[in-house]
Amino acid sequence: MKISLLIPVFDYDIIALVHSMKNAMGKVPEFYEIIIGDDGSSPEYRKKYKSLVAANVKVISSEKNIGRSAIRNKLAIEADGDFLLFIDADVMLPGTAEAYILKWLPFLKNSRVVCGGTLYHDSPPGDPDKLLRWKYGKWREQKSAADRNKHPHSGFSTFNVMIEKSVFSIIRFNEELKQYGHEDTLLGYQLKKAGIEVLHIDNGLMHEGLESNRDFLNKTKLGIENLSKLYDKVTDKRSFSETVTILSIYNKLKFFGLTRLLAAIYIRYRDRMERRLDSGKISLFLFAFYKMSMFCTYRAIHIRKKILPVF
């Protein structure tokens, strides 16, 4: 059994991360290679990535940014391992790389997809401009394996996941998704439809790359727009809704005829909500309402366009 560590990256410094991981390669025989997927980075960062090339460490590069799904597919094709360990570039090991890799091994004999989890620092960031991303991560993303295993496909994330390579003969990341948002949601749904179980374990990595409040709000908009488009495209809307909380709530609001009201509130109060979310007094309840009302607005827009199901 061989493990390939795959790191998609765009203009982010991963030198310390890769050196830490390299230290485990000689200590864990199953840990076979590290492949860095440079997704159209600037010359400055591309030079840094190339400096990391060594025995069983290689870089594949794309001249232009091809997107999160496409670069992950390229990494999967390039890998020689039986299992593919995808991690995001902006992670930090909470312990040693050796301990991190060893913790996966007992689960790979009987599981094809294993998610390790996401961690956040207990203390808020020193920069208040990054408080929204930290608060949301602590509330929504940092969950124990026991909690995530209650709804395993809903909790699927490529932030820190081990996938048997043979799974990619059945399912791949959808490269139609060019902009940020909900690539993981779609793959979790596809795994569920294919009958592939997802196991969650407590082997988390620390999320270090916190965006500013404004950048996170902009990414949230892209994600919500993507989710609305995906909802139109999937053929089994009931199954898809079961993997996404916001869709379950939307369907209940639609049943009671409240979606137009929320869309109207978003259009009228969007700027005010965003100012509050970009302040020192951040309300996660307000953020949840902001996302829900935004989704109702995008649904109204996309329904008028009558997008047809394609997968």
pLDDT reported for residue 303: 81
Q: Is 62 helix (H, G, I), strand (E, B) or coil?
A: strand
The identity of residue 183, as a single letter, is E
pLDDT reported for residue 309: 44
Domain boundaries defined on the chain: 3-210, 217-305
Question: How do residues 199-254 score in pLDDT, each as one tens digit?
Answer: 999 999 999 999 999 999 999 999 999 899 889 888 888 889 988 999 999 999 99
What strands lie across the sheet with 118-119, from one edge to the other?
Answer: 91-92, 205-207, 118-119
Q: Is 134 helix (H, G, I), strand (E, B) or coil?
A: helix
pLDDT reported for residue 89: 97
Question: How do residues 216-225 score in pLDDT, each as one tens digit?
Answer: 999 999 999 9
For 76, the token pair is: 């999967």
CA separation for the pair 121, 94 (Å, rounded): 10
Q: Which CATH architecture has domain 3-210?
A: Alpha-Beta Complex (3.90)
For 239, the token pair is: 């199954």
pLDDT reported for residue 95: 95
Q: Which residues of the chain have pLDDT under 50?
A: 307-311
